[in-house]
Amino acid sequence: MTKTERVLSQFADQARASDQLGSPFTAMLCRVLAARLHAGTHFGRRILEWEGDPFPDNVALRACGALHALARSGWEPNLTRVYPPNPTSETALWVAISDALQHNDAFLTERLDSPPQTNEVARSGWILGAMLHLSSITGRSLEVLEIGASAGLNLAFDEYRYELGNGRSWGPLDAPLTVECAWRGRTPPLDAPLAVVSRAGCDLRPVDPGNPDDRARLASYVWADQLHRMHRVEAALAHAARHHRTVDGADAADWIERKLTVPQLPGVARVVLHTIVWDYIPAPVKTRIEAALAAAGAAATPQRPFARVSAEPDATRGSARLDLTVWPQGETVMLGRGDFHGRWAEWA
């Protein structure tokens, strides 16, 4: 398979995934770009001759995010008019993209440098369940450390309201936003006492909720026809900005090693969290993180438990595997599976 064929295969794969995740517009956009992009523009040439592996780099969503950012900017009214909620067709979409490339080829090409960051807030529905399990097991308040935190929106998981299906809910009625996540299976203990005493996160490219440009960049990676996701991330960004919350710009291994050397408070469970980020971390960095977690686990006690919550893809397509490890026992339990956009969680 040639380099270009592999790029086109990635676009086709993303189109199928977008259809399955309820975004027909993103699926159509991926198909249009795969069929009609050419090397006559810097944007097209950069994509078709992508340096690196287009699958882990997710070049299709980079392209979609770049075009969505331009459509949202107002600089290209013709492009904006073919974006949701307006109706469109493959032909009309490509005509508008071709026109936009004549004026904003450099902008679109530069945007390809940034990997997609959605900071999907609905994934907090998984995180809430995992943290309720952890609180139930340990009986401790939580110190939460998240790697790959983007804007840190999921670090506020305990401040949102949840509608979990079958009449179940969690969180205050006056919460800044409501997450709808259908819980199925042996659901977590909703009555477990849950208290977060501190929260912190890191990211190689952190998003500042108080910075308008950063907010616009994050919103551009939300699929254009999924307005409910757009409203949710905008509400979460506004909440984070009101509280002046930011995450640290840092390499995940450097940050975790530094954080885990700080003495843990007695009576508090320290938990490292990561969701849909592990595949993007280089192998040497993963090795250092695993070593730091193992050392922290070896030092854990019943009074100072240590835990890891992960939600990452595995061999089962279409959802992430949710795992919880708690030290000093060090046992890893598969909690269940979660939809990538947080629409549901199937608890084991």
Please list, in sequence order, all residues whose beta carbon lies within 8 angstroms of the beta carbon of residue 47, skipping any fewer than 6 positions away.
7, 33, 37, 59, 63, 112
Q: Which pTM value belongs to this model?
A: 0.93
Quick one: pLDDT at residue 268? 97
DSSP state for residue 280 in the 8-state scheme: G
Q: What's the CA gap between 326 and 309, in Å, rounded?
A: 9
Residue 120 burial (CB count, 10 A): 22
User: Which string of b and e fits 273-284 if b means at least 16 CB within 10 Å?
Assistant: bbbbbbeebeee
Quick one: pLDDT at residue 1? 85
pLDDT digits (tens), the chain, 348 positions: 899 999 999 999 999 999 999 999 999 999 999 999 999 999 999 999 999 999 989 999 999 999 999 999 999 999 999 999 999 999 999 999 999 999 999 999 999 998 898 889 999 999 999 999 999 999 999 999 999 999 999 999 999 999 999 999 999 999 999 999 999 999 999 999 999 999 999 999 999 999 999 999 999 999 999 999 999 999 999 999 999 999 999 999 999 999 999 999 889 999 999 999 998 899 999 999 999 999 999 999 999 999 999 999 999 988 999 999 999 999 999 999 999 999 999 999
Please say whether the beta carbons of 270 and 264 come within 8 A: yes
Extract the tokens encoding 183: 């819980």
Extract the tokens encoding 279: 């595949």
Please list, in sequence order, all residues whose beta carbon lies within 8 angstroms of the beta carbon of residue 86, skipping any fewer than 6 positions away.
none
Tokens 């804007």 appear where? 151
What's the burial of 343, exposed, middle or buried (CB within 10 Å: 0-12/13-18/19+)? middle
100: nearest Cα among 134, 68, 124: 68
Extract the tokens encoding 267: 């009576």
